[in-house]
Amino acid sequence: MLPIIVLFSFVYLLLLSASLFLFIFFRRLAIAGREKKDQRVYEGMEEDLLEVLTAPDPRRAAFAFALKHKARPRVLKRILVAYREALAGRALEPLKVIFERTFRWKCLHELKSPWLATRLQNVRLFVDFSRPEEAVHLVRLLHDKPVVRLAALNALTGIASRETLSYIFDLFESDPEPNLYAYSNIFFSLGQRTEPFIRASLGKPLPPEKLGLLVEMGGRLLLRGLYPDIAGFARHADKELRIRTARALGWLHIPSSVKVLTALAADPAWEVQTQAVRSLGSLQDWKTLPLLAKALFSPHWHVRYNAGYGLAAFGLVGILQLQEISRQGEDRFAADMATMVLDTVIITGGA
Amino acid sequence: MTDLLRFLDNAAGNLILVYFLLINTFYFLFNVLSLAGILRYRRMVTFVRFGEIFRMPIVKPVSVIVPTYNEELGVIESVRSLLSLRYPVFEVIVVNDGSTDATLAKLIEAFDLRPSKSVFRKSLETKPVRGIYRSAVQPKLIVVDKVNGKKADAMNAGLNISRYPLFCAVDGDSVLEKDALLKVVRPFLEDPVRTIGAGGIIRLSNGCDIREGQVVRIGIPRNWIARFQILEYLRAFLGGRLGMSMIRSTLIISGAFGIFRKDIAMACGGYRAASITEDLDLCLRMQKHMHEQKKPYRIHFIPDPICWTEAPESLRVLARQRSRWHRGLVETLVRYRRMFLNPRYGVAGMFAMPFYAVFEMAGPFIECLGYALFASHVVLGRVNYPFAVMFFFVAVFYGTFISLLAILLEELSEHRYPRPRDILTLTAAGVVENLFYRQYLAVVRLWAFLEYLRGKNEWGSMEKRGFAKVGQVP
């Protein structure tokens, strides 16, 4: 029995291997042929597209282009995506017209596909060629799987109106598993328009990680009007939130924040002290020089590091202070840190 | 006595048969999973503009750490390739692990390095650092010169100096493609909380031309040992690791190119300095840590960020490399035996570790037992030759079939070998490797196991030829 099984296995595997080899080989030849043909079509299409872009009436020319080439969707999609990368502003209008005339309907249909990859592909295609009034199609995807949600959010950022901003913040507040990294990029891209929304969200009982992100955004986007809201978190029980508050205050550059930051520099958590010292350094208030010099003797490496660079930011006075600390022999760690900062400052200055 | 011998003989024969069927079935299933994974990945990244990371206002910076030991032939190309990576914010930390050749001198000359008085936080214990250098022409480059302490120790020194929340481990003899970092970092952007590690595919640079730190022509080497290894790498990465990653049982991210979250690596105590397969060790330790903290995590394998590395072209050097890998595997599996078949450690403990233990660690024993059994039957005149020949061909064609599946995966993923002739060459290598190469490696791995039992814990030197430049015959 065994020899017969082995014999059949042998014949079966031989045939399987041979057919797989032939499949790979002929597939390669077919793909090479198709690529050559696509390239020829692409070159022809590119010539036509350049004519569309330079035509006196690009909209009408785009209609004609779409009609002529819609039978070759693979190459057409490729050229649209490639030119989307190269063009911006009003020059994109003909591409949008071509997209509307050729792929829009299919794209919208496939945004509802049960296949994640299909939805994702189409969101990305839609991002490039959609118009602000079409945001409603993307809003529906804000409750999809995280990766689609992220793509839809990114798309909305590109066509943001007051309404879409409110969708984005509602989603952020209710998102059970927020990708904070992605949200910070989205808020940052939206810029200072977010101020009223951030203020409203800061007043809500959100989890500390969400509040922390909003606080940090307030700082990064230089929303000085949010200073009272942000400073209020300096006494929050959550350490991470206090760190972010210290960071945001450093960015906001508001003189009255020195008091808050000085208090944070004495926080029981060294991570908060580190950030507070860094922010104090960036504020460059002369009254904080002794505090920074003292922080250079902290037992924590990160506090010393930030204090060193904080002092260097003061210019000559800070450098003289650093030189003095580098020469003292009582605390080798403080001296080493001061030496390193001086070394770096001198190299950078020289460059 | 004769009955007992006959019983043992039959039992051994059946064991070999079952092992043969099981291992090939697993490999086949992994290939099928990989096929699904590659097709899905291709669809998922359609219309993705990896360059958009450049436009992101807030990016995750990466510290690229490159441990080097006697890499004078390839280190400059390798560092150049790293410095030319497309990524918004990164630093390259080259750790010269007490090289006895001109590695440091070449780096100093090529990048105009100057001694720096940098102070760093010694979070991980390492051998003494002799000096830190910064480049006057490449602000992203930092070179650390330290006393030799093996690769894991050098990685720890790099981790101490690194500043960024993600670190990427790259071998000193490897070349990364320009977009490799952009592609491999993507899981950390999409799922920043759960993703703790990601790895890309390693390809062999033998037979390729390299210019300015980038592969400019891809080809198949003339050396058959390197050809066999090309297939092995395709099978291992595209067939095996991608398949295992699909069922969330990635046990290893290659030390030649892998990216990790620094906070998790530090929480595990960094690399274990005594380990000779530090990549497997760290990956297992991070998984163990996450399970013990009851935190969900993901380790991704991504099929298209490519790292090119040089493979040995002589059997002697190959044997040394494989011996180290096998000893490292055995040592790591033994060290983390508590995870073995322990439901607390999820798929890693219940499937990945047993799989590696049975098919990778114990595999050479069973293979060599088969060869020994066959030899004894020849001596005793008990061989059923038609059956033996048939079985041999079944084994060869099963192996060839799996290799062809790996070639198909390569065609579907990156399609890097440009000429149809390359497919023919790789297929031929897939047939020929069954005649001597596989048996040789089985013996090497068996020997490595015995060396492990004898307590050998050396790296063994690897002779480098350096990358082939344009116009130079590799």
Per-residue pLDDT of chain B (474 residues; tens, 9 = 90+): 578 888 888 888 888 888 888 988 899 899 999 999 999 888 887 767 666 666 666 778 999 999 999 888 888 888 988 998 988 889 999 999 999 999 999 999 999 998 888 778 888 999 999 999 998 888 899 999 999 998 999 999 999 999 899 999 998 888 899 889 988 998 888 888 899 999 999 999 888 888 877 888 898 999 999 999 999 999 999 988 999 999 888 889 998 899 999 999 999 999 998 888 899 999 999 999 999 999 999 999 998 888 999 899 999 999 999 999 999 999 999 999 999 999 999 999 999 999 999 999 999 999 899 888 888 888 888 888 887 888 888 888 888 999 999 999 999 887 888 888 899 999 999 999 988 899 999 999 999 999 998 887 666 555 555 555 444 433
Task: Look at the block and give the residue holding tokens 């450093």.
Answer: A250
> Which of B60, B117, B387 is opposite residue A343, by nearest beta carbon?
B117
Dihedral, B293, B298, B299, B303 alpha carbons, nearest 10:
180
Contact B57 A188 (CB under 8 A): yes
Chain B residues whose beta carbon lies within 8 Å of the beta carbon of residue A125: 47
Residue A151 corresponds to which tokens in the numbers above? 């793509």
Query: What would the DSSP string read from start to end of B104-119?
Result: HHHHHHHHTEEEE---
Taking the CA of residue B60 and the nearest CA in chain A, the distance in Å comes to: 9
If interface means Cβ-Cβ distance under 8 Å, which residues of chain B face chain A? Answer: 40, 43-44, 46-49, 56-58, 60, 114, 116-119, 121, 134, 136, 189-193, 384, 386-387, 390-391, 393-394, 397-398, 400-401, 404-405, 407-408, 411, 415, 420, 423-424, 427
Nearest to B47 among A9, A125, A339 (CB): A125
Which residues on B lie below 8 Å from A29 (Cβ)?
420
Q: Kindly list the residues from chain B whose CB atom is less than 8 angstroms away from the CB atom of residue A30.
A: none
Among A16, A32, A185, the residue with its CB nearest the CB of B58 is: A185
Q: How far is A27 from chain B (nearest CA, A)?
A: 9
Residue type at position B402: I
Q: Which of B25, B46, B140, B414 to mutate to test the interface with A (most CBs of A within 10 A)?
A: B46
pLDDT score for A112 = 84
Write the residue in B116, B117, B408 that is nearest to A20 by C-beta: B408
In angstroms, rounded to a whole number, what is the distance separating the alpha carbons of residues A18 and B464? Answer: 37
A24:B411 CB<8 A: yes
Interface test with A, best of B134, B404, B424 (most A CBs within 10 A): B404
Round the CA-based radius of gyration of chain B to a whole number and report it: 23
pLDDT of A86 above 50: yes
Mean pLDDT on A50-66: 90
- Rounded to whole angstroms, the Cα distance separating B443 from A300 reads 53
pLDDT in tens, A4-45: 877 788 888 888 889 999 999 999 899 889 999 999 999 999
Percent of chain A's residues with pLDDT above 90 = 42
Taking the C-alpha atoms of residue B474 and residue A207, their distance in angstroms, rounded to an integer, is 59
Inter-chain CB proximity A188 and B58 less than 8 Å = yes
Contact A27 B411 (CB under 8 A): yes
Query: Is the pLDDT score of A154 beyond 80?
Result: no
Give the closest residue to A26 by CA, choosing from A34, A14, A36: A34
What's the confidence (pLDDT) of residue A346? 67
Q: Cα separation of A165 and A101, whole Å?
A: 29
Task: Measure A153 CA to nearest chain B CA, in Å.
Answer: 12
Backbone angles phi, psi at B351, to 5 degrees: -125, -55
Asked if the Cβ–Cβ distance from A181 to B58 is below 8 Å, we say: yes
Nearest to A185 among B57, B114, B193 (CB): B57
Contact by Cβ (8 Å): B44, A120: yes
Predicted local distance difference test score (pLDDT) of residue B466:
56
Query: Residue B50: its pLDDT value, please?
Result: 65
Q: What does B376-413 look like in DSSP terms, one character per residue?
A: HHHHHT---HHHHHHHHHHHHHHHHHHHHHHHHHHHHH
* CB nearest A7 (choices: B44, B119, B390): B390
Does A349 score more than 50 pLDDT? no
Other CB atoms closer than 10 Å to residue A72's CB: what's the count?
Answer: 17
CA-nearest residue to B53 within chain A is A185
Torsion on CA atoms B348, B228, B432, B34, rounded to nearest 10? 40
Secondary structure (3-state) at B464: coil
How far is Cα B135 from Cα A317, in angstroms, rounded to an integer?
28
Separation between Cα atoms, residue B126 and residue B122, nearest integer Å: 8
Q: Which residue of B has its CA nearest to A117?
A: B44
Tell me whether residues A29 and B121 touch, CB distance under 8 A. no
| Residues on chain A touching B386 (C-beta within 8 angstroms) | 3
- Partner-chain contact B58 A125, CB within 8 Å: no
* pLDDT band (50, 70, 90) for residue A161: confident
Q: What is the pLDDT of residue B54?
A: 65
The beta-carbon neighbor of B387 closest among A3, A31, A336 is: A3
Which residues on A lie below 8 Å from B115 (Cβ)? none
Closest CA to B374 of B22, B17, B4: B17
Structure tokens at B257: 């190119």
Q: Do B397 and A13 touch (CB under 8 A)?
A: yes
Nearest-CB residue to A340 (from B56, B118, B191) = B118
- Residues A126, A155: contact at Cβ < 8 Å? yes
Asked if the Cβ–Cβ distance from A3 to B191 is below 8 Å, we say no
Residue of A nearest to B188 (CA): A181
Which residues on B lie below 8 Å from A175 (Cβ)? none
Q: Which of A10, A27, A120 sits opposite B397 (nearest CB)?
A: A10
Phi, psi of B121 (to 5 degrees): -90, 120
pLDDT value at residue A207: 92
Interchain contact, A20 vs B401, CB within 8 Å: yes
Chain-chain contact of B404 with A25 (C-beta, under 8 angstroms): no
Q: Which of B162, B198, B136, B170 is nearest to B68 (CA)?
A: B170
Q: Do B190 and A117 touch (CB under 8 A)?
A: no
Model ipTM?
A: 0.79
Lowest mean pLDDT among A120-134, A215-229, B305-319: A120-134
Could B423 and A25 be called an inter-chain contact, meaning their C-beta atoms sit closer than 8 Å? yes
Q: Sketch out chain A's domains with CATH numbers.
A: 160-283 (1.25.10.10), 287-351 (1.25.10)
Residue of B nearest to A27 (CA): B411
Q: Select from A4, A25, A28, A192 the residue whose CB has the most chain B CBs within 10 Å, as the one to mutate to test that interface.
A: A28
Residue-level pLDDT at B460:
59
For chain A, helix (H) and strand (E) counts, in that order, are 20, 0
Interface test with B, best of A2, A5, A6, A120 (most B CBs within 10 A): A6
Q: Identify the pLDDT of residue A109.
A: 87
Cα–Cα distance for residue pair A322/A296, rounded to 1 Å: 9
Sign of the four-CA dihedral A97, A101, A102, A103: positive
Segment of A139-148, A170-179, B31-40, B455-464 carrying the highest mean pLDDT: B31-40
What pLDDT is stored for residue B300 in this prediction?
Answer: 92
Assess whether pLDDT exceeds 50 at residue A172.
yes
- Flag if B121 and A6 touch (Cβ within 8 Å): no
User: For residue A253, what are its two tokens?
Assistant: 């550059």
DSSP letter at B414 equals T
How near does any CA of chain A get to the CA of B422, in Å?
Answer: 10
Q: Are B301 and B242 in contact (CB under 8 A)?
A: yes
Contacts of A31 in chain B (CB under 8 A): 415
pLDDT at residue number B116: 85
